[in-house]
A and B are shown apart, each in its own frame.
Chain A
């Protein structure tokens, strides 16, 4: 590419979540210049085409402010004045905003790609300096936060029409965002991509002697619907099915501890705290079935990972999950908030013939290869950037 595009991928922290980091790596390999701004919470090795402008503590934050105040005063005097005016008008803590904004103004990327919806008000100013503002439409920020918070909903309604482009993680979230004036023609659905070489498929066999090994993975949050999963496990136990259920990512949650004790499931249900990504993958591989019990999701990455690795998935039909899973073909879809359906589906899984189990997991892998490859994600994101720059 003759003229590399300067892209800021902004999530506020460096490094960001696994899937945002994958995006960053892929774009850098396309010879774009990537800028990462924000708080750095971990050391990371320097990579080609990736520029990190971050701070780790109060001192480095202060030095960063001094450095960019100086650079802007010297080279972008007028722009600095305009930005200072904008900062003044927000009536927020101006020093904090300067630390966040000055480096962005100085480097002035072509595209400022904001990862979380709630930050949109803080970054709308970049457009006044010629930067294009793109927002990723992900999970909670679109699906339920604005429902409970009408002020946030109003902000979205007023600001979304001004944005240059939207990246939606699923078709479902794209249509949800339309309620807040995110125009469909500005929105591109780009599915999350996995590094499929790293995630090799394993054709599995269910070891019927050990009972059904069920796993769920995800942070401790009500939207994950673990309480429904526990209700299902109670039903499975009443059906005298031999199983063990593990939730990874939950350790000392009162509600779940209480329910486990109330249902007498101490021997059947284990809670394990957060673990490194590699460990998570190992756990998925060793389970017979991965359950997603959520009431809301964009598209859950953990489901994509299980499908890639060869572990059968039972998922609620929430958010964009039905864009990945076709019931009975490459996994199972169950209604949200329905422990009985979950239990009967898990019973069905425990009763699957080896051939049927493998047919489903093979179909799942094919879906992931077709729809969720890393290359496809980078290619499509690139298309979105080019389209926005063209307009």
Chain B
């Protein structure tokens, strides 16, 4: 089978999700082509990559690129281009927008595929008819921002998609709920395939949980979605109650100033460290030195970092944002606290650090086992192979 994967950029080394999926499909004899809007540096990827025409910047260059791609599509892929044009026009698109869509999708129109899979919901805009035009089945993945936040700013943005998509992939049950909430009426099948991690890299050989040092940790982009301000406020409550701790935040992002100010204002400067972005090996090191992982997100697709933390044997306290309550099972493999309420989080942390060792170990072992069993790369690869099987 020939499968095209539409992504914003060529997946980087750290993007396990896509790389693993591609590897799995190739292992099973399928061909994968990645269609990206841009390439960043020289990301190594063992599949064919096609980059979308650049239609921004210097106007003369854009005019040239447009003309070239339009001519190319009409000369060498006439049937497909005309089919796309007709489909767009039937759907009420203007002449100029229909032509623009032929130009912008020239790199996809030149391939004949069995499946065209959009890696994020937001990748489908102005491409809703491309799969049909090239005679492929259409699949779309929803992962979080694309269905949780984007439609709030752009209501009804997926209405055109719902009638055309053949299969929908979601990473959690909550995301499935959001797909339904956003107007999907249930014609195509919705299949959940959760993220997975490399359990051979993220493991901790120490079998038992020793003593708690109150070293808390979060790995996250510094972004409002991650609920880091709420987390810091919870920690300042703990400090007021005389609990001693240290909290490390790994990651960078545009909320740095906001967080740094919060740390200052909440008087927890000595208790909080921002490491910035660090290498995977160092991340692993930091996780090894921590005992409690916090992920008190406001919005979250699923969160690989929480999977990794569990695999490494950390106790995890997370919010109930979207996929997190499937990632961690409350009271069984960690704890789930309702989001946006620092007091709840503070109380839960207190409760967890005061648990006896046996209870903590019980949770850790269960979490580790569950991650190994349900979130390993092989399982994910098989699920994607099955995803593309066409039922008769």
| Interface residue B298 (Cβ < 8 Å from any Cβ of A) | yes
Residues of A close to B299: CB separation below 8 A: 258
Cα separation A258 to B148 with both chains bound (whole Å): 8
Asked if residues A295 and B265 are in contact (CB atoms below 8 Å), the reply is: yes
Residues of B close to A145: CB separation below 8 A: 257
Asked if residues A257 and B149 are in contact (CB atoms below 8 Å), the reply is: yes
- B40 to chain A minimum Cβ distance, whole angstroms, is 23
| Interface residue A128 (Cβ < 8 Å from any Cβ of B) | no
Asked if residues B149 and A258 are in contact (CB atoms below 8 Å), the reply is: yes
With beta carbons under 8 angstroms apart, the residue of A147, A227, A258 that contacts B264 is A147
- A196 to chain B minimum Cβ distance, whole angstroms, is 33
Q: In chain A, what residue has the closest Cβ to B340?
A: A231
Asked if residues A147 and B149 are in contact (CB atoms below 8 Å), the reply is: no
Residues of B close to A158: CB separation below 8 A: none
Asked if residues B153 and A144 are in contact (CB atoms below 8 Å), the reply is: no
Residues of B close to A296: CB separation below 8 A: 261, 265
| Interface residue B224 (Cβ < 8 Å from any Cβ of A) | yes
Residues of B close to A261: CB separation below 8 A: 152
Asked if residues A336 and B153 are in contact (CB atoms below 8 Å), the reply is: no
Q: In chain A, what residue has the closest Cβ to B154?
A: A252
| Interface residue A337 (Cβ < 8 Å from any Cβ of B) | yes
Asked if residues A337 and B149 are in contact (CB atoms below 8 Å), the reply is: no
With beta carbons under 8 angstroms apart, the residue of B258, B260, B298 that contacts A259 is B298
| Interface residue B233 (Cβ < 8 Å from any Cβ of A) | yes
Best-surrounded residue of B225, B258, B339, B340 (most CB of chain A within 10 A): B340
| Interface residue B384 (Cβ < 8 Å from any Cβ of A) | no
Asked if residues B233 and A147 are in contact (CB atoms below 8 Å), the reply is: no
Q: In chain A, what residue has the closest Cβ to B321?
A: A262
Q: In chain B, what residue has the closest Cβ to A143?
A: B261
Cα separation A305 to B351 with both chains bound (whole Å): 47
| Interface residue A238 (Cβ < 8 Å from any Cβ of B) | no
Q: What 1/0 mask marks residues of chain B from 253 to 275 whose CB sits below 8 Å from any chain A CB?
A: 00111101110111000000000
Q: In chain A, what residue has the closest Cβ to B261?
A: A144
Asked if residues B340 and A259 are in contact (CB atoms below 8 Å), the reply is: yes
Residues of A close to B262: CB separation below 8 A: 295
Cα separation A164 to B71 with both chains bound (whole Å): 68
Q: What 1/0 mask marks residues of chain B from 230 to 267 whose CB sits below 8 Å from any chain A CB?
A: 00010000000000000000000001111011101110
With beta carbons under 8 angstroms apart, the residue of A148, A252, A337 that contacts B256 is A148
Residues of A close to B225: CB separation below 8 A: 255, 258
Interface hits, A238-259 → B, CB 8 Å: 252, 254-255, 257-259
Which secondary structure dominates chain A's binding surface? helix
Asked if residues B152 and A257 are in contact (CB atoms below 8 Å), the reply is: yes
Residues of A close to B265: CB separation below 8 A: 295-296, 336
Asked if residues B153 and A252 are in contact (CB atoms below 8 Å), the reply is: yes
| Interface residue A19 (Cβ < 8 Å from any Cβ of B) | no
With beta carbons under 8 angstroms apart, the residue of B148, B224, B260, B266 that contacts A148 is B260
Asked if residues A222 and B298 are in contact (CB atoms below 8 Å), the reply is: no
Best-surrounded residue of B256, B264, B265 (most CB of chain A within 10 A): B265
Cα separation A254 to B153 with both chains bound (whole Å): 7
Q: In chain A, what residue has the closest Cβ to B232?
A: A337
Residues of B close to A222: CB separation below 8 A: 224, 255, 258
Cα separation A199 to B298 with both chains bound (whole Å): 41
Q: In chain B, what residue has the closest Cβ to A150?
A: B260
Residues of A close to B340: CB separation below 8 A: 231, 259, 262
Residues of B close to A255: CB separation below 8 A: 224-225, 298
Best-surrounded residue of A144, A145, A252, A296 (most CB of chain B within 10 A): A144
Residues of A close to B264: CB separation below 8 A: 144, 147
Asked if residues B257 and A144 are in contact (CB atoms below 8 Å), the reply is: yes
Cα separation A295 to B260 with both chains bound (whole Å): 13
Q: In chain A, what residue has the closest Cβ to B339?
A: A262
- A336 to chain B minimum Cβ distance, whole angstroms, is 7
Asked if residues B261 and A337 are in contact (CB atoms below 8 Å), the reply is: no
Residues of B close to A252: CB separation below 8 A: 153
- B359 to chain A minimum Cβ distance, whole angstroms, is 31
- A117 to chain B minimum Cβ distance, whole angstroms, is 15
Cα separation A144 to B263 with both chains bound (whole Å): 11
Residues of A close to B233: CB separation below 8 A: 337
Cα separation A322 to B230 with both chains bound (whole Å): 25
Asked if residues A254 and B149 are in contact (CB atoms below 8 Å), the reply is: yes
Asked if residues A258 and B152 are in contact (CB atoms below 8 Å), the reply is: yes
Q: In chain B, what residue has the closest Cβ to A266?
A: B152
With beta carbons under 8 angstroms apart, the residue of B256, B258, B261, B298 that contacts A258 is B298
Q: What 1/0 mask marks residues of chain B from 207 to 233 whose CB sits below 8 Å from any chain A CB?
A: 000000000000000001100000001
Asked if residues B261 and A147 are in contact (CB atoms below 8 Å), the reply is: yes
- A317 to chain B minimum Cβ distance, whole angstroms, is 12
Q: In chain B, what residue has the closest Cβ to A144?
A: B261
Q: In chain A, what residue has the closest Cβ to B150?
A: A254
Q: In chain B, what residue has the closest Cβ to A260?
A: B152
Cα separation A30 to B378 with both chains bound (whole Å): 79
With beta carbons under 8 angstroms apart, the residue of A147, A254, A337 that contacts B152 is A254
Q: What 1/0 mask marks residues of chain A from 135 to 160 whose CB sits below 8 Å from any chain B CB?
A: 00000000011011100000000000
Asked if residues B149 and A148 are in contact (CB atoms below 8 Å), the reply is: no
Asked if residues A257 and B153 are in contact (CB atoms below 8 Å), the reply is: yes
Cα separation A57 to B262 with both chains bound (whole Å): 40
User: Interface of B with A (CB < 8 Å)?
Assistant: 148-149, 152-153, 224-225, 233, 255-258, 260-262, 264-266, 298-299, 339-340
Jot down 16 A-B pairs with beta carbons below 8 A, ordered by A. A144-B257, A144-B261, A147-B264, A148-B256, A222-B224, A231-B340, A254-B149, A257-B149, A257-B152, A257-B153, A258-B298, A261-B152, A262-B339, A295-B262, A295-B265, A296-B261
List 7 extra interface pairs beyond A144-B261, A255-B225, CB under 8 A.
A144-B257, A144-B264, A148-B257, A255-B298, A296-B261, A336-B265, A337-B233
Sorted from nearest, which 6 A-B pairs have the closest CB atoms?
A148-B260, A148-B257, A144-B261, A257-B152, A255-B224, A222-B258
